[in-house]
Structure 1
Amino acid sequence: MTGLTMIVITLAALAVGYFGYARWLEKTWGIDPKNPTPAVRLNDGRDFAPASRWTVFAHQFTSITGAGPVTGPIIAAMFGWLPALLWMLAGGIFFGAVQDFTALYASVKNNGRSIGTIIEDYVGRTGRQLFLLFCWLFTLLVIAAFCDMVAGTFNGFAKDGAEIVPNAAAASISLLYMVVAVFFGFFLKYAKPSAGVQFVTGVVLMVAMVAAGIAFPVFADAETWRYVVFAYLFAASVVPMWALKTPRDYLSMFLLIGMILCAVAGVFIENPEIRMPAFTSFEVNGLDMFPILFVTIACGAVSGFHSLVSSGTSSKMVANESDMRLVGYGSMSVEVVLGVVSLIVVCAAATDGALPAGTPFQIFSTSVAGFLTNIFGVPQDIAACILTMCVSALALTSVDAVARIGRMSLQELFMPAKGEAMTPVRKLFTNTVFATTLTLLLGYALCMAGYMSVWPLFGSANQLLSALVLTGLAVFLKATGRKGWMLYGPMAVMLAVTMTALVQQLVKIAEALASGNFVFMVHGLQGILAVALIVLAVLVVYHSILKLREPARVTKEEAAA
């Protein structure tokens, strides 16, 4: 097997999925280009703001494409390249892209509301509150981890005090992105340029910012960058989408798409040989392929977090229902390409069937930077700066979306039910500034207190979120008279994966307790969280199954109106 063969198979499969399966889903559920979307009907200039299809695609793609599609496949390669490839293709086409598209579709059909509030309509208020609480806690963990990751990437000093130029240059470029995005946002809103002018302007700005950042690196330590990142997250969470988040995502898209195109071009031109066996073993280093493979490769196959972006922010930007397939299904398909490229580079760098040393990001960055140097003649130091920036952008463009979604989840959690009064406490927690501040403060506290104590459960929590979202979406489709059987298989698989992973984690905790190696701040917290996740899943699934057994409320025609 060669890298070229693998990427050709991937592109062909994804093309069939996008132009065949996704289009069939559109026709099955009903897309009405003439139907005003929530972004148009409820345009408030803050959360609801219609944008062009490629602008929304840029937001969706950059928000969902975090560190996962790079780290997951590289780690999962220990089971061999074939299981990882098959899971990304099958998972991406039938699980992840369908989940993202359906979540976007359901939200647009429900006035741009989030999955949590949609669940209330079709599952019940108890299910909604449990889901929103889980989403909010999940965002705290992601904020803590990704902010720490970004700050570490921007750290301009080594342990011995030596300057790290690529990191400082990446930090400088990111600062420019934050500032320039504001001006670009005002340009888009008030100048209303054509798609061509917007594209050319975006490319020119990206090249200028990269050049300026490399020429004028900003050196600061990781702690300083944590403060900067959290300050940026506050701004990205409270200001209107069009003023910062949307334009920054659009500008970041050029960087990330450029990185992917460069990597794909490198695979086509160099056609690296795959030096890992197709399959190694069902158990590697004490880890079982089921469920570890399906938990490790989340982004790149299916990730519950994506649904929060689809229903939390993207649905409030879609200007036409016909854009949803590109935004929901298309962005996930591109992420699969990144995941497969990551798998190719790690397998090509293997030696005698053994994975190369280094972190997943180091392996990926070194390989793609090599493509830039060998194929395009980019100097090694500049290639290193560009790839460092791309890696940090993967995390930063996700965490700012997570921060905003966390804020909205907390607000929705305290919104009164019909007939309930808006008490002073509810008013406080639904205030945008307060909800944002509380979310970020707790995220920062978790970052400083040691989020790694519970990080091992992140993969299970993320995939459990996917299972719960698929369950809720299946209820939505059933209740509105639409076909939803295509979600039943993915829903069952993800429930089996996450429950198995959580039970295995509890077994390890019990073994640590029996052997006398139990540490409460590690094993205790993991155990509490694992039990809480299991209880949450059982309750939400129970309520959902009850609803699935009920007849549809309305006809398909009424639901599509």
Structure 2
Amino acid sequence: MNGLTLVIVVIVLFLVAYTTYGSWLAKKFGVDPSRKTPAHTMNDGVDYVPAKAPVLLGHHFSSIAGAGPIVGPIGAAIFGWIPVFLWIIIGSIFFGGVHDMGSMFASVRHKGQSIGEVIGTTMGKKGRQLFSIFAWLTLILVIAAFANIVANTFVSVPEAASSSMLFILLAIFFGYAVYRKGVNLALGTVIGVALLIGAIFLGTNFPLSLSKNTWMVILLGYIFVASVTPVWILLQPRDYLNSFLLYAMLIGGVVGIVIMRPTLQLSGVTAFNVNGTYLFPMLFVTVACGAISGFHSLVGSGTTSKQLDNEKDIKVIGYGSMLIEGVLATLAIITAAYVTGGKLTELLGNGGPVNVFSDGLGSFMTSFGLSFTIGKSFTALAISAFAMTTLDTATRLARFIFQEMFTKENQTKETVFTNRYGATAITVIIAGSLSFYGWGTVWPLFGSANQLLAALSLLALAVWLKKNNKTNKFVVLPMIFMFSVTLVALVILIMQSLSQPILLIFSVILFVLAIILILEASKALKVDKIADVKKE
């Protein structure tokens, strides 16, 4: 099979899905362009700040993409490229896209509050508290997993490390110029992208080589600062500029594949059972962000909904971003299928899946004259930049949720738990402690928790739609499938974690919380049915 065929198929299908199914979803949800969003009605200059669609698309996509759609598909390649490719297509269109768009829309209609607060209005205080605990624990795993991925990338490709550090300074400069000095966005973008290219050039010539543990400490310090600063000074500008990195990487990868037309060496289908790992449920858990991700609901209802300028932007930012991520996941499975055998094992052992992806795309880019070293370094920089975006966004979201959990009604005085500095510190310390287990240990648990969070977000959306007298079948079917996948996966992980107390405790807590939330949702729906009968 030729890699070009996969790229053409996925792009055509996604364009059709965006035009048809995406528009249908907008009508079913009730998107209203004339309605003011929380970014305008609650503008506070810190978290609630209106952002133009291109800027917010950059933030949202950079935040949800990270290294997930790369690490997941490459990890799932043990089952062959066909199952992974099919799940990327089906999942992105009918699962992930619905999940992302719906959670963002529900949040916008609830003053930009998290999906946990939406649950509070539909399932009560208990449901909200349980979901918030679940979401916070999942974000802890997100931070632990992605801190490892970024640190590993910086060690294996030190050029990306130095470029990334320069990129942070550039983002602060860009944010200050555009949001405080009134520099035109178009002009600022041209200058910002030019300086970004300069940062890549300097990074390539002055690599920064540090140990993994040193990078872990630096990254944990960075995400603390990023979590407590206003979004306009770092989060928005860095994510916006990040998007150009990703678009360039995607275009470069696609053009390289068009010219090179790499032949897939990996078998289409290997086996249902690969060394004790079963395709069901582990394929759907491992691919994670490449098809559907619960983390996306936290981003959409955490930072993105607070910056949405107009409801009409929900389709392109919510549904569109998931489809673009599906394209990225397709490129990832092509690189894994192209780089096989002993070299694949070597690359995985020295830098993990991101190294495999960087090596593959670097090879593809040589087809149009770019040197392999520059192509690989650029790809590694782009992915590490997105992974860092996921890190700082996840930390900010965890801070939001932690503060919400401990904030009482009519509370006027802050505590260490409701203060943004205290909430961030607690989150970073716990996640940092878990991160030293290594990404290989944390990722399976993250994948299960993340996909279970997606199922719970779909559950919350289904109940919310029902209570607002809207059809919810297009949400219920994906929800049922995701619950069946993730609960089975968690049981397997519980059995495998008996010798690792911390991971075992995490697995058991997540499983129990999910079951209780399902029961709470059933009660809420049952009450609605009884009320409907009485009305009749």
1:26 to 1:554, Cα distance in 2 relative to 1, 3 A: farther
- Pick aligned residue for 2:506 from 486, 509, 529: 529
Q: Which has the higher mean CA deviation after the structures are superposed, 22-31 or 275-284?
A: 275-284
Give the letter for the 1:543 counterpart. Answer: E
- Pick aligned residue for 2:166 from 170, 176, 179: 176
Corresponding position of 2:272: 282
Compute the displacement of 1:188 (Å).
1.7
Corresponding position of 2:66: 66
Give the Cα–Cα distance (whole angstroms) in 2 for the partners of residues 308 and 28 of structure 1.
22
Corresponding position of 2:366: 373
Give the Cα–Cα distance (whole angstroms) in 2 for the partners of residues 106 and 357 of structure 1.
45
Structure 1 portions without partners, runs of 5+ = 156-163, 510-517, 556-561
Give the Cα–Cα distance (whole angstroms) in 2 for the partners of residues 508 and 144 of structure 1.
19
Compute the displacement of 1:427 (Å).
2.7
Compute the displacement of 1:455 (Å).
4.6
Give the letter for the 1:312 counterpart. Answer: G
Compute the displacement of 1:144 (Å).
2.2
- Pick aligned residue for 1:428 from 416, 420, 432: 416
Q: Which has the higher mean CA deviation after the structures are superposed, 202-211 or 47-56?
A: 202-211
Give the letter for the 1:392 counterpart. Answer: S
Corresponding position of 2:309: 319
1:450 to 1:92, Cα distance in 2 relative to 1, 3 A: closer
- Pick aligned residue for 2:300 from 298, 310, 316: 310
1:460 aligns with 2:448: yes
Corresponding position of 1:512: none
For the 8 Å contact 2:63–2:389, the answer to whether it is kept is yes
Corresponding position of 1:221: 211
Compute the displacement of 1:71 (Å).
1.6
Corresponding position of 2:484: 496
Give the letter for the 1:313 counterpart. Answer: T
Q: Which has the higher mean CA deviation after the structures are superposed, 130-139 or 335-344?
A: 130-139
- Percent of aligned pairs with the same amino acid: 41
Give the letter for the 1:391 counterpart. Answer: I
Give the Cα–Cα distance (whole angstroms) in 2 for the partners of residues 204 and 87 of structure 1.
38
Q: Which has the higher mean CA deviation after the structures are superposed, 319-328 or 210-219?
A: 210-219
SS, match of residue 295 in structure 2:
helix
Compute the displacement of 1:311 (Å).
0.4
For the 8 Å contact 1:347–1:355, the answer to whether it is kept is no
SS, match of residue 12 in structure 2:
helix
For the 8 Å contact 1:26–1:325, the answer to whether it is kept is yes
1:361 aligns with 2:354: yes
Compute the displacement of 1:552 (Å).
8.9
Give the Cα–Cα distance (whole angstroms) in 1 for the partners of residues 74 and 213 of structure 2.
29
Compute the displacement of 1:33 (Å).
1.4
For the 8 Å contact 1:206–1:254, the answer to whether it is kept is no
Compute the displacement of 1:196 (Å).
3.4
For the 8 Å contact 2:273–2:279, the answer to whether it is kept is yes
- Pick aligned residue for 2:284 from 280, 283, 294: 294
Compute the displacement of 1:343 (Å).
1.1
Compute the displacement of 1:322 (Å).
0.7
For the 8 Å contact 2:66–2:387, the answer to whether it is kept is yes
Compute the displacement of 1:486 (Å).
0.5
Give the Cα–Cα distance (whole angstroms) in 1 for the partners of residues 80 and 220 of structure 2.
39
For the 8 Å contact 2:286–2:444, the answer to whether it is kept is no
Give the Cα–Cα distance (whole angstroms) in 1 for the partners of residues 28 and 444 of structure 2.
39
Give the Cα–Cα distance (whole angstroms) in 2 for the partners of residues 263 and 106 of structure 1.
35
CA displacement 1:97-119 (0-9 Å, x = unmatched): 11111111011111100011111
Compute the displacement of 1:439 (Å).
1.2
1:469 aligns with 2:463: no
Give the letter for the 1:372 counterpart. Answer: M
Give the letter for the 2:238 counterpart. Answer: R
Compute the displacement of 1:187 (Å).
1.7
1:212 to 1:526, Cα distance in 2 relative to 1, 3 A: closer
For the 8 Å contact 1:304–1:466, the answer to whether it is kept is yes
Q: Which has the higher mean CA deviation after the structures are superposed, 238-247 or 132-141?
A: 132-141
Corresponding position of 2:384: 392
CA displacement 1:219-241 (0-9 Å, x = unmatched): 43333323322222122111110
For the 8 Å contact 1:481–1:554, the answer to whether it is kept is no
Compute the displacement of 1:349 (Å).
2.8
For the 8 Å contact 2:29–2:105, the answer to whether it is kept is no
TM-score w.r.t. structure 2 length?
0.93
Give the Cα–Cα distance (whole angstroms) in 2 for the partners of residues 498 and 65 of structure 1.
21
- Pick aligned residue for 2:433 from 432, 436, 445: 445
For the 8 Å contact 1:290–1:497, the answer to whether it is kept is yes
For the 8 Å contact 1:480–1:552, the answer to whether it is kept is no
5 Å-filtered alignment, 1:161-310, equals 166-167=157-158, 169-194=159-184, 196-310=186-300
Compute the displacement of 1:3 (Å).
1.1
SS, match of residue 123 in structure 1:
helix
- Pick aligned residue for 1:341 from 331, 355, 361: 331
1:547 aligns with 2:511: no
SS, match of residue 275 in structure 1:
coil
CA displacement 1:380-420 (0-9 Å, x = unmatched): 3323321221231231111110110111111011011x4xx
1:173 to 1:357, Cα distance in 2 relative to 1, 3 A: closer
Give the letter for the 1:358 counterpart. Answer: L
Corresponding position of 2:100: 100
Give the Cα–Cα distance (whole angstroms) in 2 for the partners of residues 446 and 469 of structure 1.
25
SS, match of residue 265 in structure 2:
coil
For the 8 Å contact 2:140–2:430, the answer to whether it is kept is yes
For the 8 Å contact 1:481–1:553, the answer to whether it is kept is no
SS, match of residue 459 in structure 2:
helix
Give the Cα–Cα distance (whole angstroms) in 1 for the partners of residues 508 and 523 of structure 2.
23
For the 8 Å contact 1:33–1:322, the answer to whether it is kept is yes
SS, match of residue 298 in structure 1:
helix
CA RMSD of superposed structures (Å): 2.4
Give the letter for the 1:498 counterpart. Answer: T
Q: Which has the higher mean CA deviation after the structures are superposed, 280-289 or 218-227?
A: 218-227
